[in-house]
Amino acid sequence: MEAVLNSREKKAKQIQSLLKVEQVVVSLKANIPGNEKDINEAYILLHIFSGILLNKYPEAKLNVFNSPEGPYCLFTSIGEDPHRLKKVFIEIEETHPLGRFIDFDVHCSDNSLSRSDFGLTNRKCLICEKEAWVCIKERTHNPADLTMIVKDNVHYYVKQVLEEVLVKSFLLELDLEPKFGLVTKSSNGSHQDMNYDIMKSSVFTIVPYLIDMYEVGYSVADVSIAFEKVRSMGKQAEKAMLKNTNGINTYKGAIFLLGVILTSLGALHQSKFSQDLTNIIQKMTSKILNELEGQAKTFGIKAYQEHKFYTARHEVYYGIPSVLEALSFLNRYQNRDQEALMMTLITIISLKNDTVALKRAGSITKYESIVDLISSIKTFDIDQISQVTNICVKENMSFGGSADILIAAIFLDLIVDHLA
């Protein structure tokens, strides 16, 4: 108890010190009942809501602290009236699915604004309809039950967001057209066995498996063991995909790449954001290049052995550099429209070896000539893109590996404001 009281006193002094040079200081903490406050979910909550604040007030400066009362954030340099700020934060607390599990406090030089200043009652208990402070004082509920409510709600929200963002990432790539022999809404491209409906159906088949991979990353402490588990789950996802498509491979590469990313995201949350996502990926896949030696069991391994082609295994071993480069290029654009996505795809094809395309080309010479043709597109010229796409279809070329990189880049772009 003494440590908690000292922590509160230290936080109050921090705020008072900041208020000597700031008109307003905003504090954010997770509303975790009981004594167990330094839980993973507290860090996820802080990440979600600090992201919301920074989106609304990008000029704000963020400092994160750990304490016996759990983690908390202090924001400064927010050029907004304190009363308007408090109204904004009350609305977030009242309307966001996880709003009741966080506290935004607005501190001014003369006082701190409370809900009562706006004619609102104190916040309710997580279990009953009494005011929370009453239940705390009377010790009405088991703290473990209250903590479990927080954990369950945060976990449910995370899974919802992951599903929404994964589906959107796949569909943004799928809806892009024309697309160099890849399947689109209006064309099967170079694929006689695929169409838009088959691809879309596959998305909804494999997404639940990817979310399960996140759960493994979140719950298994050793990332090497987690990787073994998710590779087995990846094979199950492939079987489900093939069953759904009557034997057509639509997203095998995406299952592998996104599976690694989702597992690492789970491990990131388990670590309370103390590690870097790419470092987790590298640690998780540190032995994967050993698979490139010996008998070539896949075309990707064969392409490496014969042409020293960069493979999906290299991509995860080195910490998804192609995905991050694609993300960096995508971030040059303000909107995620057809131009942004198309020019990012062209960049990916230009810079990354695509074993799927090499297999369809049949020779390194043909592959390189088509890549050079695509790389010659320097602006969003839909006529030129259509012409090159027609050549790709005629030559039976398609860049599935590059499409996987684009999907992963879109996913990271969309998820960063929520969970990463």
Question: For residue 249, how far is the Cα from the chain centroid?
Answer: 25
- Which residues have C-beta within 8 Å of that of residue 235, sequence separation ≥ 6? none
Q: What is the pLDDT of residues 184-236, one digit of tens each?
A: 999 999 999 999 999 999 999 999 999 999 999 999 999 999 999 999 999 99
Q: What is the pLDDT of residues 64-111, one digit of tens each?
A: 999 888 999 999 999 889 999 999 999 999 999 999 999 999 999 878
- Looking at the domain assignment, is residue 318 inside a domain? yes
Q: In this structure, are 84 and 214 located in the same domain?
A: no
Q: In this structure, are 49 and 81 located in the same domain?
A: yes
Instruction: Tell me the residue ranges of DSSP E strands in 81-239.
Output: 102-108, 112-113
Q: In this structure, are 100 and 208 located in the same domain?
A: no
168, 94, 158, 60: which is closest to 413 by C-alpha? Answer: 168
- On whether the CB atoms of residues 114 and 90 are closer than 8 A, the answer is no
Q: What is the pLDDT of residue 8?
A: 84
User: First-to-last CA distance in the chain?
Assistant: 33
Q: Measure the CA–CA gap between 227 and 259, rounded to whole angstroms.
A: 9
Q: In this structure, are 237 and 349 located in the same domain?
A: yes
Q: What is the pLDDT of residues 378-395, one digit of tens each?
A: 999 999 999 999 999 999
Q: In this structure, are 19 and 167 located in the same domain?
A: no
pLDDT band at 420 (very low <50, low <70, confident <90, very high): low
pLDDT(369) > 90: yes
| CATH number of 373's domain | 1.10.4200
Q: Given the structure tokens 């709600």, which residue do they identify?
A: 153
Q: What is the pLDDT of residue 130?
A: 80
Q: In this structure, are 136 and 251 located in the same domain?
A: no
More confident site: 35 or 407? 407
Q: What is the pLDDT of residue 347?
A: 98
Q: What is the pLDDT of residues 281-314, one digit of tens each?
A: 999 999 999 999 988 889 999 999 999 999 999 9
Q: Measure the CA–CA gap between 73 and 45, rounded to whole angstroms.
A: 11
- Looking at the domain assignment, is residue 154 inside a domain? no
Q: In this structure, are 289 and 338 located in the same domain?
A: yes
Q: In this structure, are 171 and 121 located in the same domain?
A: no
Q: From residue 362, give the alpha-carbon distance in Å to each of 82, 111, 179, 357, 359.
A: 65, 73, 20, 9, 5
Q: What is the pLDDT of residue 122?
A: 75
Q: In this structure, are 171 and 88 located in the same domain?
A: no
Q: What is the pLDDT of residue 245?
A: 97
Q: Measure the CA–CA gap between 319 and 127, rounded to whole angstroms.
A: 43
**Interstrand relation of 112-113 and 72-76 (parallel, antiparallel or unpaired):** unpaired
Q: Measure the CA–CA gap between 130 and 255, rounded to whole angstroms.
A: 47
Q: Say which DSSP state 397 is in.
A: -
- On whether the CB atoms of residues 166 and 258 are closer than 8 A, the answer is yes
| CATH number of 79's domain | 3.30.70
Structural domain boundaries enclosing 19:
2-141
Q: For the chain, how many structural domains are there in total? A: 2
- On whether the CB atoms of residues 56 and 88 are closer than 8 A, the answer is yes
* Mean of the per-residue pLDDT values of the chain: 93
Q: What is the pLDDT of residue 1?
A: 63
Q: In this structure, are 104 and 182 located in the same domain?
A: no
pLDDT band at 373 (very low <50, low <70, confident <90, very high): very high
Question: For residue 412, how far is the Cα from the chain centroid?
Answer: 5
pLDDT band at 246 (very low <50, low <70, confident <90, very high): very high
